[in-house]
Structure 1
Amino acid sequence: MQAYIANIQGLTAIGIGIIIGLGAIGACIGIALMGGKYIEACARQPELINPLQTKMFLLAGLIDAAFLIGVGVAMLFAFANPLLSKLVAG
């Protein structure tokens, strides 16, 4: 029984690292690409800076929100692991 618990805890820790790591990489790449396109658009048409800036910050928040949802799921598995509770209860 202890071996199963240790196995679940170890694999959960690896999964948490993957969730947070890949989520952070994806968010960074997404914001970097969006920021680059925003700068290109502002250089082409300076009169559109204000509307584009509003949309850029809105999308940056949504990209970060997707990452934070992943962090929330990872913290669920870290502190209230449903897989582990099923094994211990059964």
Structure 2
Amino acid sequence: MADIRIPGDELEQVSQALGFVLDHIDTGNSGVDLDRALGYPLIHQGNHFESRWSDGRFQLNKQCTTIKKAVDDILTQFKDTDDQAAAHLDGA
């Protein structure tokens, strides 16, 4: 029988990273004075990017949420399967 290796640690890191992205994706400029930080020539470009980024942010949020849920489901299912297998071995 072939061994199946589930990279649990790596999947947990992916889940945590996606959680971080989802927690921070809607922060906007977070009160940063872009005019002072960037100066006039760049502030227009920054505002233009922000207005166009809105659709991308929505799509990225949606996709990250879906991927994170799938990763979390995989982790849960394999942990449950592993726990059940261990319980059967202990009971045998």
Which TM-score band (shorter chain)? 0.3 to 0.5
Task: Determine which structure has the larger helix proportion and give its number.
Answer: 1
Q: Which has the larger radius of gyration?
A: 2
TM-score (norm: length of structure 1) = 0.46
